[in-house]
C-alpha cells in the first residue's frame, strides 16, 4: 500500500482546512492508499508531518491557500493546488499521485543534503500572490472579529455610551469600546505585516508592519496595506539576496542592523510619498460603496450576494467580506448586514431543503444537510460547499439567488450589523434584529424551493 501525505490550510483555518483533510483521506481509502494529513487551521498546525513521515512517503498533496514550509518536501513528488481543489478534486489528485505522473520538487533535500535534478513542481504566480494576500487576511480576521464584537457589545449601553459628554456615558462601555477599537485599529498594520511575512519571512514582516502603520495613519487603509505588504515582502527578498555575499562575520549585523534599516527606510518613505493618492483612491472606493447602499441597494445586494455565494469562503467571497470589515472599522454598520446575510444563507438553503424534501438527498447528505442549520446560524458558509461541488452548474446559481435576496432585503430595510462575525449569536447587537432574521429566511426559503424543484429524487438504499 502506497503511503501518501497531505497538507491542507485555508485563510481562516475554520472549514475548508478540515473539509479538504476529510476529502483527501476518503479518496485515499477508496483508492487503496494510506494517507496522513497535516492541517494548518485557526489553532495552528495539527497532525504535523515528521521527517520520518516525509522520508517514507510516496508523494505529498498540498491543498493550501496559505504559506507552509515547502522545502521539507524537496526530492519528493509534490502536487500543489488551492484548498478548494482538495475538496472537489480529492479523488483525482490521489489517483494522479498513485499513477506516478507527478513532478518531483527540486531543491536541496534537507534530510540527505543532496541536490535533486528532477523538475520542481511550481505553484502558479497568481496562486502565490493569492496565498500571500490570504496570509495577511487570515492573521487580520481575529483582530477584526474580536474588536468588532467588543465594540458592538459596548453599544448595548447606548450608541454614545463611550462619550463622557453624553447622558448615555458608562465607564464599562467606554472601556470595552476602547479595547475593541484598539483591536480593530490593528487591522491594517497586521494585514500588511503578514502579507510581507509570507513573501519575505521575518525581515519582511518588520518593514510590512511599519508600512501598514503608515498606511493606517495616513488614511491609505486597506489598499495601502496591500501595497505596503507586497512592496515590503519583495523588496526584503531583494535586499537579503543582495547581501548574501557579505562575510559570515557580518551575519548578526546584517540581520539586526542592515536589513531592517534599509527595508524600513525604503518602504516607509515610499508609503509616506504615495499616501496622498493612495488614501484618495481608498476613500473614493469606500465612499462609492457607502453611497451605493443608499442609491442602489438592489444592485449592491445582488453583487454582494453573488460574490458571497460564488465560492463560499474563497477569494471572491473574501473580497466582499474584507470590504465589509473595512467599512465596519469606519463606522458603517449597514454594509456588513448584507455581507453577513449573504454568507449565512447558503447553508440554510441546504438545511431547509434537506428538512422538507428528504427524498432529494441520500441518507448521508441529509444528515450533513441538517448540520448546516448550526453552520449557517453561526456564519460558516462553507457548510454548503460539498453540495455545490457535486452539482455546481445547478446549485451555485441557486445559492447566489438566495444570498442576493437576503442581502438586498437587508440593505432595503437598512439593517445595521456592528460585528463582523457570529451569525445569529450576535442578534442582541443587530438593529433591527427580527427584520434581519426575516430577510435571511426569505432568501433561504426561496433558495430552498428552487433547490428542491430542480433536484431529482435520490434512490435510497
DSSP 46: E
Show which of 123, 151, 167 is a domain's final residue.
Answer: 123
Domain match, 275 and 159 both = yes
* 381-430: pLDDT as tens digits: 877 877 887 788 888 899 999 999 999 999 999 998 887 777 887 888 88
Write down which residue in 80, 106, 123 finishes a domain. Answer: 123
The domain in which residue 15 lies consists of 3-123
Nearest to 358 by CA among 369, 366, 347: 366
d(Cα 123, Cα 347) in Å, to the nearest integer? 31
Helices 221-242 and 125-154: angle between axes, nearest 10 degrees:
130
Residues forming beta bridges with residue 77, ordered by sequence position: 104
Q: Is 306 a catalytic residue?
A: no
pLDDT at residue number 211: 93
Q: How far apart are CA 292 and CA 271, in angstroms?
A: 29
Whole-number pLDDT of residue 116: 37
Q: Is residue 288 part of a domain?
A: no
Tell me if 417 sits within 8 A of 430, measured CB to CB. yes
The CATH number of residue 74's host domain is 3.40.50.2300
Confidence class for position 115, pLDDT limits 50, 70, 90 = very low
Residues 385 and 402 in one domain: yes
User: Is residue 460 a part of any domain in this protein?
Assistant: no
Instruction: Note whether 209 and 312 are same-domain residues.
Output: no
Q: Please, which residues have CB within 8 angstroms of residue 418's CB and are 6 or more apart in sequence?
A: 148, 151, 152, 155, 328, 333, 336, 429, 430
Instruction: Give the separation between CA 345 and CA 358, rounded to whole angstroms.
Output: 19
**Same structural domain, 132 and 265:** yes
459 in a structural domain:
no
Q: What is the pLDDT of residue 167?
A: 83
The verdict on 265 and 311 lying in the same domain is: no
306 and 245 inside one domain: no
pTM summary value: 0.70
Claim to verify: residue 14 and residue 99 sit in the same structural domain: yes
- Co-location of 169 and 27 in the same domain: no
Listed residues 123, 155, 183: the one ending a domain: 123
Q: Tell me, yes or no, whether 221 and 235 share the same domain.
A: yes
Q: How many domains does the chain have?
A: 3
Q: Are 113 and 200 within one domain? A: no
Measure the CA–CA gap between 48 and 33, rounded to whole angstroms: 19
- DSSP secondary structure string for all residues of 101-166: --PBP-EEETTTTEEE-SPP-PPPHHHHHHHHHHHHHHHHHHHHHHHHHHHHHHGGG-TTTT-TTS
- For the four alpha carbons of 70, 125, 80 and 9, in that order, the dihedral sign comes to positive
Residues 267, 170 share a domain: yes
Catalytic residue among 10, 64, 236, 306: 10
- Residue 289: inside a domain: no
Q: Is the pLDDT of residue 104 over 70?
A: yes
Distance, in Å, from the CA atom of 223 to the CA atom of 461, rounded to the nearest integer, reads 54
pLDDT at 80: 87
Question: 300 and 443 in one domain?
Answer: yes
Radius of gyration of the chain (CA): 24
Is 461 within the bounds of a domain? no
286 in any annotated domain: no
- What sign results for the dihedral spanned by CA atoms 425, 65, 240, 278? negative
Amino acid at each position: 500500500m502506497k503511503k501518501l501525505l497531505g497538507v491542507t490550510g485555508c485563510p481562516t483555518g475554520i472549514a475548508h482546512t478540515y473539509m479538504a483533510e476529510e476529502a483527501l483521506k476518503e479518496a485515499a481509502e477508496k483508492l487503496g492508499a494510506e494517507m496522513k494529513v497535516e492541517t494548518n487551521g485557526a489553532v495552528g498546525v495539527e497532525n504535523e508531518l515528521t521527517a520520518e513521515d516525509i522520508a517514507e512517503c510516496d508523494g505529498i498533496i498540498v491543498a493550501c491557500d496559505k504559506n507552509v514550509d515547502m522545502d521539507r518536501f524537496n526530492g519528493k513528488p509534490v502536487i500543489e493546488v488551492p484548498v478548494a481543489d482538495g475538496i472537489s478534486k480529492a479523488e483525482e489528485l490521489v489517483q494522479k499521485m498513485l499513477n506516478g505522473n507527478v513532478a518531483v520538487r527540486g531543491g536541496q533535500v534537507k534530510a540527505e543534503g543532496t541536490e535533486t535534478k528532477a523538475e520542481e513542481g511550481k505553484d502558479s504566480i497568481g496562486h502565490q500572490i493569492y496565498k500571500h494576500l490570504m496570509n495577511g487576511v487570515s492573521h487580520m480576521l481575529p483582530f477584526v472579529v474580536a474588536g468588532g464584537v467588543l465594540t458592538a457589545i459596548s453599544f448595548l449601553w447606548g450608541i454614545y455610551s463611550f462619550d463622557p459628554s453624553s447622558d448615555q456615558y458608562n465607564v464599562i462601555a467606554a472601556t470595552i469600546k476602547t479595547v475593541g477599537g484598539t483591536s480593530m485599529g490593528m487591522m491594517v498594520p497586521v494585514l500588511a505585516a503578514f502579507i510581507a511575512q509570507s513573501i519575505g519571512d521575518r525581515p519582511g514582516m518588520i518593514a510590512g508592519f511599519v508600512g501598514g502603520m503608515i498606511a493606517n495613519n495616513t488614511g491609505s487603509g486597506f489598499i495601502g496595506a496591500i501595497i505596503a505588504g507586497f512592496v515590503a515582502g519583495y523588496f526584503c527578498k531583494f535586499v537579503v539576496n543582495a547581501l548574501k555575499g557579505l562575510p559570515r562575520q557580518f551575519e548578526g549585523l546584517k540581520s539586526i542592523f542592515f536589513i531592517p534599516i534599509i527595508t524600513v527606510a525604503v518602504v516607509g518613505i515610499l508609503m509616506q510619498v504615495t499616501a496622498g493618492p493612495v488614501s484618495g483612491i481608498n476613500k473614493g472606493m469606500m465612499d462609492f460603496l457607502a453611497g451605493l447602499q443608499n442609491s442602489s441597494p438592489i444592485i449592491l445586494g445582488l453583487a454582494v450576494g453573488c460574490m458571497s455565494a460564488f465560492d463560499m469562503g474563497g477569494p471572491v467571497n473574501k473580497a466582499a467580506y474584507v470590504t465589509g470589515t473595512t467599512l465596519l472599522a469606519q463606522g458603517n454598520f449597514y454594509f456588513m448586514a448584507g455581507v453577513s446575510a449573504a454568507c449565512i444563507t447558503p447553508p440554510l438553503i441546504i438545511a431547509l431543503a434537506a428538512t422538507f424534501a428528504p427524498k432529494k438527498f441520500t441518507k448521508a447528505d441529509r444528515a450533513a444537510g441538517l448540520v448546516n442549520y448550526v453552520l449557517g446560524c453561526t456564519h460558516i458558509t462553507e457548510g454548503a460547499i460539498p453540495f455545490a461541488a457535486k452539482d455546481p452548474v445547478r446549485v451555485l446559481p441557486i445559492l447566489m439567488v438566495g444570498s442576493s435576496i437576503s442581502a438586498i432585503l437587508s440593505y432595503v430595510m437598512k439593517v445595521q450589523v456592528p460585528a463582523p462575525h457570529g451569525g445569529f449569536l450576535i442578534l442582541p447587537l443587530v438593529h433591527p434584529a427580527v427584520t434581519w432574521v426575516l430577510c435571511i429566511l426569505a432568501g433561504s426559503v426561496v433558495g430552498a424551493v428552487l433547490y428542491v424543484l430542480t433536484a431529482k429524487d435520490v434512490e435510497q438504499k
